[in-house]
Amino acid sequence: KAGVTQTPRYLIKTRGQQVTLSCSPISGHRSVSWYQQTPGQGLQFLFEYFSETQRNKGNFPGRFSGRQFSNSRSEMNVSTLELGDSALYLCASSEGVGGELFFGEGSRLTVL
């Protein structure tokens, strides 16, 4: 069974631009959550989706948004990028809410 797939793996943007990251969960998994990892703040929860509905949201500004499609694939978007948004963005999926999370390899975003 294929694991969690995140695209793109690496990307470089400039301040003020926006970015969309994609996550394909493990087949059959309906819950997707997103995390941001930076050297200073560590791993921080962004949001969680289940059956196309956002169940939970972390303490991030409104520039960070996400959505989930009917096939459980998820995207997250960051608008008006700032230098501090440079991070590894990790997606995780689980069969249902509260199940073991399986993480992807992440999308590494660099904002110049």
Partner 1 sequence: DAKTTQPTSMDCAEGRAANLPCNHSTISGNEYVYWYRQIHSQGPQYIIHGLKNNETNEMASLIITEDRKSSTLILPHATLRDTAVYYCIVRVPHGSSNTGKLIFGQGTTLQVKP
The answer to whether 106 contacts partner 1 (rule: CB under 8 A) is: yes
Q: Residue 61 is encoded by which pair of tokens?
A: 């500004």
Among 33, 68, 72, 74, binds partner 1 (CB under 8 A): 33
For the CB of residue 112, give the shortest distance to partner 1 in the complex, in Å: 21
Among 15, 105, 110, 112, binds partner 1 (CB under 8 A): 105
Among 68, 72, 74, 94, binds partner 1 (CB under 8 A): 94
Burial class (CB within 10 angstroms; exposed 0-12, middle 13-18, buried 19+) of 95: middle
For the CB of residue 93, give the shortest distance to partner 1 in the complex, in Å: 11
Backbone angles phi, psi at 49, to 5 degrees: -125, 145
Among 31, 68, 72, 74, binds partner 1 (CB under 8 A): 31
Which stretches does DSSP call E strand in the chain?
5-7, 10-13, 19-24, 31-38, 42-50, 53-57, 64-68, 74-78, 87-94, 102-103, 107-111
- The C-alpha atoms of residue 16 and residue 42 are separated, in whole angstroms, by 24
The answer to whether 45 contacts partner 1 (rule: CB under 8 A) is: yes
The contact set with partner 1 (CB under 8 A) reads 4, 31, 33, 35, 42-45, 48, 50, 55-56, 58, 90, 92, 94, 97-98, 100-106
